[in-house]
Amino acid sequence: MSNIILEMKGITKTFPGVRALDNVNFKIKEGEIHALCGENGAGKSTLMKVLSGVHPFGTYEGDIIYNGNNCEFKNVNDSEKRGIVIVHQEFALIPELSIAENIFLGNEQVKRGFINWNGTISKSRELLEKVGLDIDPNTLIKDIGVGHQQLVEIAKAFSKQVKLLILDEPTAALNEDDSENLLKLLLQFKKQGITTILISHKLNEVFQVSDSITVLRDGKTIRTYSVKEEKVTENMIIKDMVGRDITNLYPVRNKSIKEEVVFEIRNWNVFHPQDTERQILRNVNIKLYRGEIVGIAGLMGAGRTELAMSIFGKTYGRKISGKIYKDGKEVEFHTVKDAIKNGVAYVSEDRKEYGLILIDNIKNNISLANLQKISNNSILNKNLEFTETENIKNRLKIKAPSILQTTVNLSGGNQQKVVLGKWIFTEPDILILDEPTRGIDVGAKFEIYKIINELAEQGKSIIIISSELPELIGMSDRIYTLCEGVITGEHKKEDVDQEILMTYMTNRSGGSKK
Amino acid sequence: MNTLKKIISNNVRQFGMVIALVVIAILFQFLTGGVLLTPLNITNIIMQNSYIILLAFGMLIVIITGEIDLSVGSVVAFVGAISGILLVNQDLPVIVGIFLSLLIGAAIGAFNGFWVAYVRIPAFIVTLASMLIFRGLTLVALNGQTIAPFPDSFRSLSTAFIPDIFNGGDLHILTILVGALLTIVYIIFEYRNRQNDKKYNVDTSSNSLFIAKLVIAAVIINTFTFVLAQYEGIAIVLVLIFFIYLIYASMMNKTVLGRHIYAVGGNENAARLSGINSNKVKFWVFVNMGVLSALAGLIFAGRLNAATPQAGTGFELDAIAAAVIGGASMTGGVGTVFGAVIGALVMGILNNGMSIMGIGIDWQQAIKGLVLLAAVTFDILYKKKK
Look at B270 and A387 and tell me if their CB atoms are within 8 Å. Answer: no
> Which residues of chain A make contact with B201, given a CB cutoff of 8 A?
387
Name the residue with higher pLDDT: A151 or B9. Answer: A151
- Residue A437 counted as domain residue: no
Q: What is the pLDDT of residue A512?
A: 44
CATH number at residue A489: 3.40.50.300
Name the residue with higher pLDDT: A160 or A288. Answer: A288
A148, A301 contact by CB (below 8 A): no
Is the pLDDT at B358 greater than 80? The verdict is: yes
Distances from the Cα of A444 to the Cαs of A41, A43, A84, A469, B31, in angstroms? 11, 16, 31, 18, 61
Q: What is the pLDDT of residue A510?
A: 55
Q: What is the pLDDT of residue B10?
A: 57
Alpha-carbon dihedral sign for residues B194, B199, B200, B205: positive
A254, A261 contact by CB (below 8 A): no
Q: Is B202 on the interface with A (CB under 8 A)?
A: yes
For A380-394, write each residue's pLDDT tens digit: 998 899 999 999 999
Q: In the structure, what pLDDT confidence band is assigned to residue B3 with cuts at 50, 70 and 90?
A: low
Q: Is the domain of A175 the same as that of A113?
A: yes
Mean pLDDT of B229-247: 93
Q: What is the pLDDT of residue B300?
A: 95
Closest CA to B7 of B167, B204, B201, B169: B204
Question: For chain B, what percentages of helix, strand and coil (3-state, to nearest 5) are there?
Answer: 75, 0, 20
Q: Please identify, among A213, A242, A271, the residue that sits at the C-terminal boundary of a domain.
A: A242
Q: What is the pLDDT of residue B57?
A: 97
Complex confidence, ipTM: 0.87
DSSP A493: G
CA distance B36 to B42: 7
CA distance B264 to B275: 11
Q: Residue A500: give the domain boundaries.
A: 260-343+465-514
- Residue A107 counted as domain residue: yes
- Residue A360 counted as domain residue: no
Is the pLDDT at B203 greater than 80? The verdict is: no
Q: Is the domain of A283 the same as that of A137?
A: no
- Residue A420 counted as domain residue: no
Kindly report which listed range (A238-242, A379-383, B51-55, B116-120) carries the lowest average pLDDT score.
A238-242
Is the pLDDT at B379 greater than 80? The verdict is: no
Q: What is the pLDDT of residue B63?
A: 97
Q: What is the pLDDT of residue B361?
A: 87
A151, A182 contact by CB (below 8 A): yes
Q: In the structure, what pLDDT confidence band is assigned to residue A122 with cuts at 50, 70 and 90?
A: very high
For A234-247, write each residue's pLDDT tens digit: 888 878 887 765 55
- Residue A483 counted as domain residue: yes
B273, A336 contact by CB (below 8 A): yes
Q: Is B256 on the interface with A (CB under 8 A)?
A: yes
Q: Is the domain of A22 the same as that of A81?
A: yes
Is the pLDDT at A2 greater than 70? The verdict is: no
Q: What is the pLDDT of residue A148?
A: 87
CA distance A444 to A449: 9
Q: Which residues pair with A195 in a beta bridge?
A: A164
Q: Is the domain of A300 the same as that of A231?
A: no
Q: In the structure, what pLDDT confidence band is assigned to residue A1 with cuts at 50, 70 and 90?
A: very low
* CA A451 to chain CA mean position, Å: 19
Q: What is the pLDDT of residue B1?
A: 47
- Residue A250 counted as domain residue: no
Domain count within chain A: 2
Q: Is the domain of A128 the same as that of A275?
A: no
Which residue type does B79 have? Answer: V
> Which residues of chain B make contact with A387, given a CB cutoff of 8 A?
200-201
Q: In the structure, what pLDDT confidence band is assigned to residue B8 with cuts at 50, 70 and 90?
A: low
CA distance B224 to A514: 88
Strand order in A261-271's β-sheet? A279-289, A261-271, A318-326, A329-331
R_g of chain A computed on alpha carbons: 24
Q: What is the pLDDT of residue B166?
A: 81
Q: What is the pLDDT of residue A511?
A: 47
- Residue A390 counted as domain residue: no
Q: Is the domain of A178 the same as that of A78?
A: yes
E strands, B68-119, are none
Name the residue with higher pLDDT: A54 or A238. Answer: A54
- Residue A425 counted as domain residue: no
Mutate to test the interface with B, among A383, A389, A393, A415 (most CBs of B within 10 A): A383
Kindly report which listed range (B58-72, B121-135, B184-198) carries the lowest average pLDDT score.
B184-198
Using a CB–CB cut-off of 8 Å, the residues of A that contact B are 312-313, 315, 335-337, 339-340, 346, 348, 353-360, 364, 367-369, 371-372, 375, 378-380, 382-384, 386-387, 422
Q: Is the domain of A230 the same as that of A310?
A: no
| Paired sense of beta strands A61-66 and A4-15, if any | antiparallel
Which residue in A has a C-alpha nearest to residue B251's C-alpha? A379
Q: In the structure, what pLDDT confidence band is assigned to residue B375 with cuts at 50, 70 and 90?
A: confident
Classify B343 in phi/psi space as left (phi over 0), alpha (psi -120 to 50) or beta.
alpha
Is the pLDDT at A59 greater than 70? The verdict is: yes
Q: Is B273 on the interface with A (CB under 8 A)?
A: yes
CA distance B270 to A336: 11
Measured in residues, chain A has a length of 514
H or E segment and range at residue B28? helix B12-31
Q: Is the domain of A114 the same as that of A184?
A: yes
Is the pLDDT at B274 greater than 50? The verdict is: yes
For B150-170, write each residue's pLDDT tens digit: 999 999 888 899 888 887 778
Q: Is the domain of A234 the same as that of A151?
A: yes
Is the pLDDT at A15 greater than 80? The verdict is: no
Q: Is the domain of A236 the same as that of A308?
A: no
Q: Is the domain of A102 the same as that of A46?
A: yes
Q: Is the domain of A61 the same as that of A186?
A: yes
